[in-house]
Amino acid sequence: MNAADAAAGFRQRLQSLIDGSGLNQAAFARMAEIDRSTLSQLLSADGPRMPRADTLIALAQACQVSVDWLLGLTPRKEVGTQIIDSIMQIQTHTRSPIDDHFLGWLREVEGYRVRTVPDSLPDFLKTEEVLRFEYQGASLNNVASSFGARLALMRRPESELEVCTSIQALTTMAKGEGKWEGLNKTARRRQLEHFGELYAELYPSLRIYFYTLTETYSNPFTVFGPKRVTLFLGTSYLVLNGIDYVRLFSKRFDELIKLAVVQPHQIAQTLDDVLSELG
């Protein structure tokens, strides 16, 4: 970046701070404790003028932004502990198959690829009967409308979702074992058929991979396009914002795909095999 481009970027950032403050230039200069004439010169687009160090520090302190951001050296405005807060957050989970936070994150990255490792089978592929069994005691009054919103996102042409989970999550549900113990055989069969029908409709925008727990294991996480990663902690989400986290967990997802024993094009046959074993 040459001096003229750097100066132009600085002016854009400075103007955005003034616009965001709701103040006119004179009031903004007073707030930042710099001369009004200095502010006017900095905003003029007639050369590669950059602020002196003391002016730069005054602007950064007054507006609670980093000096590096003002100079165009980082895309992050935040300074100090604000950076930590923006990179790492905790969001509560509502113990519902459709969480408002999760749906909001999906909408934010519409058009980007989402990659998820659920703790079992993806909730949006489950029947209401199975959801009520699995989420006993939770309010499921709005589950139909919530799933409708999720499926509407999935049905858009630009949608792309990859799911990677264990084959044991499928087989234990089919057998009524583990957390599905007590779920009747008819409900389990309907679940498998429902899974197959939805997958046939959404594939290849939806692609599912099964790995086996005898070879690997993964905690539940989701990569929301280039924006963030969320780790599911049972009662909350650990939200990691930043491209470094996206790259790290995308690499882990790629590793799980390489270990997959069932590829996306084999899902229909796998479901048929499990249904046949169910009898």
Q: Give the C-alpha distances (Å, rounded to integers) separating 232 from 28, 102, 168.
A: 43, 11, 19
Higher pLDDT, 192 or 69: 192
Q: To 5 degrees, how large is the angle CA 35–CA 41–CA 45?
A: 155
Mean pLDDT estimate for the chain: 86
- 39-83 pLDDT per residue, tens: 988 888 666 667 887 888 888 888 888 887 888 877 766 665 454
pLDDT for the residue numbered 22: 84
pLDDT for the residue numbered 83: 46
| First-last CA distance in the chain | 67
Task: For residues 12 and 211, give the distance between their C-alpha atoms in angstroms, rounded to a whole number.
Answer: 49
pLDDT for the residue numbered 234: 80
Higher pLDDT, 127 or 150: 127
pLDDT for the residue numbered 142: 63
Going by pLDDT thresholds of 50, 70 and 90, the confidence category of residue 208 is: very high
Q: Which two tokens stand for residue 184?
A: 């009747």
Task: For residues 267 and 27, give the distance between their C-alpha atoms in angstroms, rounded to a whole number.
Answer: 64
Classify each residue of 41-78 as buried b or exposed e, where b means 16 or more C-beta atoms within 10 Å of its C-beta: ebeeeeeeebbeeebbebbbebbebbeebbbbeeebbb
Q: Which of 218, 112, 113 is nearest to 165 (CA)?
A: 218
Specify the residue for token string 């302190």: 61
Higher pLDDT, 5 or 256: 256
Residue 207's beta-bridge partner residues?
Answer: 162
pLDDT for the residue numbered 6: 80
Higher pLDDT, 237 or 196: 196
Higher pLDDT, 141 or 42: 42
Q: Which of 118, 122, 125, 132 is nearest to 222 (CA)?
A: 118
Q: Which of 178, 174, 225 is nearest to 195 (CA)?
A: 174
Task: For residues 140 and 132, give the distance between their C-alpha atoms in angstroms, rounded to a whole number.
Answer: 7
Going by pLDDT thresholds of 50, 70 and 90, the confidence category of residue 262 is: very high
Q: What pTM value is reported for the model?
A: 0.69
Task: For residues 191 and 207, give the distance between their C-alpha atoms in angstroms, rounded to a whole number.
Answer: 18
Higher pLDDT, 148 or 246: 246
pLDDT for the residue numbered 139: 62
Angle between helices 36-43 and 25-32 (to 10 degrees): 110
pLDDT for the residue numbered 137: 66
